[in-house]
Chains A and B, each alone.
Chain A
Amino acid sequence: MMQKTLNTLIIIFLALPLAALLYLSAVKFWVYPDLLRAHFSLEFWSGLGGTYSGLTSSFALSLLMATSISLTATGLGFFFSAFLLLVPGRSTWLALSFFPYLIAPVSFGALLQTYFVRFGLSGSTGGVWIAQLLFVVPYANILLSTFWNRHIRQLYQQAITLGARPLQALSGIILPLAKPWLGLSLLQCFLISWYEYGITRLIGIGKVQTLTVGVMHYLNEANPHVAALAAILLVSPVVLLGAISYIVVGKLSLQV
């Protein structure tokens, strides 16, 4: 009984923010203590096609950016993680990859900004893409390095000893085994890019309007209702993606 109550409480705790967003996006003139009886309105939602159409294009931009970053970073990350096995002093080199992820994105952006400006990359979608990649690739590298445990390494060596070419060994034996890791990396890298605000704001100087930048814009405009709407757009694909990948994640060893 107690456990059930506890479970319910935790589920409420987990679900409250999403409920709050849905509510806020469907109400206006929200004066205290309005709650169940309030000015409900779908005007903000219908505004998606007109007044707030900027949000729709931000959505598309974020989607494109996160997908391409996730694919590129996972590819590069896997390549580097395999390559580093050949490098003496692997752990020292790998340690470098920890840093970008450890530092708050907004600080990382502040560190990078001057170089991006110098190379003419600030204020462009390409610049933001590269900046995000510098942040995401090290993460993918770290995550995928966990895949290369002793067993996998031995398997690879064995294949080579038995005469397989490195590429053959990789595509025939290693890649199938790495599938769940690659899946997790794709998902995580997508999320990091999808959520990113600090770097995008600094390097994009507002010219690159991703969805997070849009959410902040409406927050600054003192309009919580549109901000909530934007936030739902930000959360919804991930909820869907999460539902789909639930099976993958459920099976996967979360040993990052």
Chain B
Amino acid sequence: MKSQTRSWQFAGVLSLYLLICGVPLLAGLGYSLGYSLGLTGLLSQGFTLVHWQTLLQDTDAWRSMGYSLLVAAISMALSLSLALGVAWLHELRSQNTLRRWLLLPLAFPPLVAGFSWYYLLSPSGFLSRLAFHLGWIGGIEAFPVIVNDFPGVGLVLTHVFLVFPLFALLFMHQSAKVRMGALWQVAQSLGSKRSQFLRRVYIPLQLRKAELLIRLYAIFLIGTYEVALLLGRSSPRVMTLYITDKLGRFNLADIPQGHAMLVVYILLAGVLAFGGIKKYRIL
């Protein structure tokens, strides 16, 4: 009797867990899939693969996916390099002031970070005005365009601002935990050069320990929305903007295509998060 109650309780809690952490996403995914296949939607006319075919043939869609991946990869690479560097310097000599400042960007939601960096970097923004007063440039035209630009300088810089401090703090913490300083001293006494140590021990150790978080943040950056909205370019645009444009723009016939892209995006995030990994440390 008691064990029966127990198993009911067990099933109840498991259902509640699923209801909160599983069902909403799966239900949404199912809806988008259904929409993209013409199974639901106000203007749907029954099952069809035509929206998927259109999406597969839409170079704009693939460019936007490639662009999102590229921007995320570059932002991540820069953030990690900077964070590794800062944490290494901290290891050599403690930087407590810097450590405190590193917490500041954690107070910035992406929307606000995008807004401030836009006003810092745009041709009529703060840095351009400063350069003008310092006599470095003659006017707006002379200031390089680094917002809404193709290489996405402003976009990447804002991402670095948002992501790098977190990794710097993490690497500092990891360093302390494995006694990186002591390791370095041992290596030194064994005749290892600094570059060797950094390449063979410091960097691989740091990155491996942070692998999960690196993956998560990379996926985060692929899903960038607010920052790209303010600092990105109209073409190619990042994936989330492609999706929102298709879901809510002027051509109602495009909506199923937006849902198809949404499905692609979620699958991509899943593959990137779990692909090639048997088990995360915490799982």
Contacts and interface: CB of A to CB of B under 8 A. Distances in A.
Query: A and B: partners?
Result: yes
Interface of A: 3, 6-7, 10-11, 13-18, 20-21, 23-24, 32-36, 76, 80, 83-84, 86-87, 90-91, 93-108, 110-112, 114-115, 133-134, 137-138, 141-142, 145-146, 191, 194-195, 197-198, 212, 215-216, 219, 224, 227-228, 231, 234-235, 238-239, 242, 246, 249, 253-256
Interface of B: 10, 13-14, 17-18, 20-22, 24-25, 27-29, 31-32, 86, 89, 93, 95, 97-98, 100-113, 115-117, 119-120, 124, 126, 128-130, 132-133, 139-140, 161, 165, 169-170, 173, 177, 213, 216, 219-220, 223-226, 240, 243-244, 247, 262, 265-266, 269-270, 273-274, 279-280, 282-283
A20 B226 contact: no
B193 to A, nearest CB: 19
A108 B93 contact: no
Contacts of B280: 91
B119 A224 contact: yes
Contacts of B165: 14
Contacts of A256: 213
Nearest to B85: A6
Nearest to A24: B119
A96 B22 contact: yes
Contact of A112 (B21, B28, B115, B130): B28
Nearest to B137: A33
Contacts of B177: 253
A158 B73 CA distance: 46
B21 A138 contact: yes
Contacts of A100: 21, 24-25
Q: Which secondary structure dominates chain A's binding surface?
A: helix
A145 B111 CA distance: 29
A235 B107 contact: yes
A35 B20 CA distance: 50
Contacts of B269: 99, 102-103
Cβ-closest 4 pairs across A and B: A111-B28, A104-B223, A195-B109, A17-B116
A35 to B, nearest CB: 4
Given A7-B95, A102-B270, 7 more contacts: A17-B116, A36-B133, A83-B13, A91-B279, A100-B21, A216-B111, A255-B173
Nearest to B221: A104
A107 B262 contact: yes
Contacts of B170: 254
A82 B86 CA distance: 37
A10 B86 contact: yes
Contacts of B25: 96, 99-100, 103, 108, 111
A248 B251 CA distance: 51
A134 B17 CA distance: 10
Contacts of A11: 97-98, 101
A119 to B, nearest CB: 11
Given A91-B279, A231-B112, A96 B126 contact: no
A133 to B, nearest CB: 7
